[in-house]
């Protein structure tokens, strides 16, 4: 049965896509798309017996949405410091400045300014990585997973055995699993030990059968095995005589008394000093820089990595390289690094600092806000057992927590909160003082 007379009359009165698009101020293809969607929404509403909305204002709303950038700046009030869905580590100010400078025009990305000849993009960070870690050589690729893949492909390659403890056959994230990495390199995976206990003799026994094997050690960055467990130290592994690839995960360069919680993470410098051929880590986790994969180690091992075809397929772009160089330079002054690299500053934020920020939020929001105690997390697959206790602001409203969180995400800029025990929480640990005004405005509007 077709629509009734009244509905049919309304449908005939709808403007054509061309007529509606002509009333919109925007690029023609986007105006047409907005007009078509607005008309279709109105048609479906009337056919369902619903009133719908005015078609011209709705088309203008749709056009505005189409013209807005898809990738947007958001405010992280979740308390998760290295939030993968939100781009992981926020960049320090010098890194942001370096990205802008590199994006303004041309750069000496692969040009030796002294000779005028071709240079290497790795030279911009290799010296810094050597200074900070003690490595003989270093290169950088586009992310941590690529670093592991390139390391295994360069040192093992087709047919060569790679020894991995069964307790380290982990999924790095996004379905990226160590057995599949080894398979993609063309190497043969040989599992040693058991899920919870692997001894030096397990590796030695495997090497007796596969004397040309490479040893791959993988840090269990996103989980911890506790209880009846045993693993082999990097010093003992390196003493076996086989090339060792050490994937240390999150890329900690700030070991020391200033941030004691980072002591649980493996040290890049320790692994290199022990004799690892290659050490791999991410640049956008606890290192606090852009997405990148760092490979450091012996000159011979790095030469093999540079020459491998995957090195070009996984190479880092100029903007990420600029941000990484600026971030690494901050580590030359450890105190400055702790102050200016957001991830490190969030990790060691004081109770007084967090309390002042929480009170400012609650006072600005008003009666809907209450300061409580809550636990923040590092996130990004790093330090999974570490809970960072501190103040947070709980929002109360007539709307459900899900609706309230959705309203916060609809703000401009969007505010990302977390729901815990049936309440929406705003965590000051992941907020900057300059963001408080925007969060207050979004929370007041969302809470009604």
DSSP string, 14-63: SPPHHHHHHTS-S-HHHHHHHHHHHHHHHHHHHHTT-----HHHHHHHHH
pLDDT in tens, 5-45: 778 888 888 999 999 999 999 999 999 999 999 999 999 99
Q: Which residue has the higher pLDDT, 206 or 170?
A: 206
Residue 332: predicted pLDDT: 95
State residue 75's pLDDT score. 98
- What's the pLDDT tens digit per position in 293-316? 999 999 999 999 999 999 999 999
Q: Please, which pLDDT band fits residue 264 given cuts at 50, 70 and 90?
A: confident
pLDDT of amino acid 7: 84
Q: Are strands 171-173 and 176-177 parallel, antiparallel or unpaired?
A: antiparallel
The structure's pTM equals: 0.90
Instruction: Retrieve residue 397's tokens.
Output: 């409203």
Convert the pLDDT of each residue in 214-236 to its tens digit. Answer: 999 998 766 667 667 788 999 99
**pLDDT of 377:** 92
Q: What is the pLDDT of residue 62?
A: 94
Domain ranges of the chain: 5-67, 75-84+345-447, 93-340
pLDDT, position 380: 82
Report the DSSP beta bridge partners of residue 164: 191
Structure tokens at 16: 């054509």
What are the distances in angstroms from CA 182 to CA 46, 109, 425? Answer: 58, 31, 42
Residue range 383-407: mean pLDDT, rounded: 91
Task: Check residue 257 and give its pLDDT.
Answer: 45
Q: How many CB atoms lie within 10 A of CB 375?
A: 14
pLDDT at 50: 87
pLDDT at 256: 52
Q: Calculate mean pLDDT across residues 367-374.
A: 96
| Cα separation of the two ends of the chain | 44
**pLDDT of 317 above 90:** yes
The reply to whether 75-84+345-447 and 93-340 are identical in fold is: no
Structure tokens at 41: 């929404």
CATH class belonging to 75-84+345-447: alpha beta
Q: Which residue did the predictor score with more confidence, 222 or 365?
A: 365
Range 93-340: architecture per CATH: 3-Layer(aba) Sandwich (3.40)
pLDDT above 90 coverage of the chain, percent? 77
Q: Token match 């390391």: residue?
A: 151
- Whether the per-residue pLDDT at 260 is higher than 50: the answer is yes
Q: What mean pLDDT is predicted for residues 238-250? A: 94
Give residue 202's pLDDT.
94
Instruction: State the Cα–Cα distance between residues 184 and 195, nearest whole angstrom.
Output: 23
Whether 401 and 419 have beta carbons less than 8 Å apart is answered as: yes
Give the list of residues 6+ apart from residue 197 with CB closer than 8 angstroms, or none.
167, 228, 229, 230, 231
């Amino acid at each position: 049965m077709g629509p009734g007379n009244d509905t049919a009359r309304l449908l005939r009165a709808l403007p054509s896509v061309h007529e509606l698009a002509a009333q919109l101020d925007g690029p023609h293809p986007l105006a047409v798309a907005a007009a078509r969607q607005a008309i279709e929404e109105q048609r479906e509403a009337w056919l369902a017996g619903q009133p719908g909305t005015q078609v011209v204002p709705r088309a203008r709303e749709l056009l505005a949405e189409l013209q807005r950038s898809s990738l947007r700046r958001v405010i992280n009030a979740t308390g998760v410091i290295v939030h993968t869905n939100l781009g992981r580590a926020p960049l320090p100010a010098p890194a942001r400045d370096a990205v802008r400078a590199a994006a303004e025009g041309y750069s000496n990305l692969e040009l030796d300014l002294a000779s005028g000849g071709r240079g290497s993009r790795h030279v911009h960070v290799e010296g810094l990585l050597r200074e900070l870690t003690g490595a003989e050589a270093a290169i950088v690729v586009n992310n941590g997973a690529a670093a592991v893949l390139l390391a295994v492909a360069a040192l093992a390659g087709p047919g060569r055995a790679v020894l991995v403890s069964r307790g380290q056959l982990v999924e790095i994230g996004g379905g990226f699993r160590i057995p599949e990495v080894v398979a993609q390199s063309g190497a043969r995976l040989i599992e040693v030990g058991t899920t919870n206990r692997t001894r030096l003799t397990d590796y030695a026994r495997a090497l007796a059968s596969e004397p040309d094997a490479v040893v791959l050690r993988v840090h269990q960055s996103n989980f911890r095995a506790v209880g009846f467990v045993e693993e082999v130290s990097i010093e003992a592994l390196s003493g076996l005589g086989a090339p060792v690839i050490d994937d240390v995960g999150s890329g900690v360069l700030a070991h020391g008394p200033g941030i004691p919680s980072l002591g649980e993470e493996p040290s890049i410098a320790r692994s290199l000093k022990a004799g690892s051929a290659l050490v791999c880590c991410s640049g956008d986790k606890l290192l606090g820089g852009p997405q990148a994969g760092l490979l450091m180690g012996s000159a011979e091992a790095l030469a093999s990595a540079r020459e491998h075809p995957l090195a070009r397929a996984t190479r880092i772009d100029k903007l990420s390289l600029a941000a990484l160089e600026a971030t690494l330079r901050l580590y030359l002054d450890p105190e400055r690094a702790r102050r200016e690299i957001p991830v490190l500053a969030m990790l060691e934020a004081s109770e007084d600092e967090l309390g002042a920020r929480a009170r400012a939020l609650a006072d600005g929001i008003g009666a809907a806000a209450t300061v409580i105690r809550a636990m923040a997390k590092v996130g990004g697959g790093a330090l999974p057992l570490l809970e960072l206790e501190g103040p947070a602001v709980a929002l109360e409203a007539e709307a459900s927590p899900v609706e309230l969180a959705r309203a916060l995400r609809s703000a401009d800029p969007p505010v990302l909160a977390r729901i815990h025990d049936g309440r929406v929480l705003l965590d000051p640990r992941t907020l900057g003082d300059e963001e408080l005004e925007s969060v207050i405005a979004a929370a007041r509007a969302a809470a009604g």
